[in-house]
């Protein structure tokens, strides 16, 4: 018999991150554009849109939206070639 009662759920903390604002699906949807843009631009999207990541992990519907928007914007980015050659 082993007793784990004294152990803290560190793994859960690691997955969910520090306690922060809980996003609703509406709030998540409103910020998804911005979040993905930040991600693709190489910014720390998680820090700039707090609560988003834990919502995406916990909410399969929004997680799917995130994945498809990301694929869409990434294709868009490549199409527009942001890195223009110097004149
Ligand atoms: Zn959601």
pLDDT digits (tens, 9 = 90+) for 2-32: 566 566 666 655 555 555 567 899 999 999 9
Residue pair 22/51 in contact (Cβ under 8 Å)? The answer is: yes
CA 3 to centroid of ligand 1, rounded, Å: 36
CA 4 to centroid of ligand 1, rounded, Å: 33
CA 40 to centroid of ligand 1, rounded, Å: 21
CA 61 to centroid of ligand 1, rounded, Å: 6
pLDDT of residue 22: 77
pTM: 0.65
CA 51 to centroid of ligand 1, rounded, Å: 11
Q: What confidence tens digit (pLDDT) does each residue in 30-65 have?
A: 999 999 999 999 999 999 999 999 999 999 999 999
pLDDT of residue 15: 59
* Higher per-residue confidence, 66 vs 2: 66
Q: Provide Rg for the chain, Cα atoms.
A: 18
All residues at 6 or more sequence positions from 20 whose CB lies less than 8 Å from its CB, including other chains: 50, 51, 54
Buried b (16+ CB within 10 A) or exposed e, 45-76: bbeebebbbbbbeebeebeebbeebbeeeeee
């Amino acid at each position: 018999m082993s007793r784990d009662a004294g152990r803290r759920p560190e793994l859960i903390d690691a997955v969910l991150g520090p306690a922060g604002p809980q996003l609703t699906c509406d709030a998540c949807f409103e910020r998804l554009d911005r979040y993905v843009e930040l991600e693709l631009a190489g910014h720390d999207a998680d820090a700039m849109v707090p609560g988003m990541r834990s919502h995406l992990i916990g909410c399969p519907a929004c997680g799917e939206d995130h994945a498809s928007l990301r694929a869409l914007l990434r294709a868009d980015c490549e199409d527009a070639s942001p890195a223009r050659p110097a004149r």
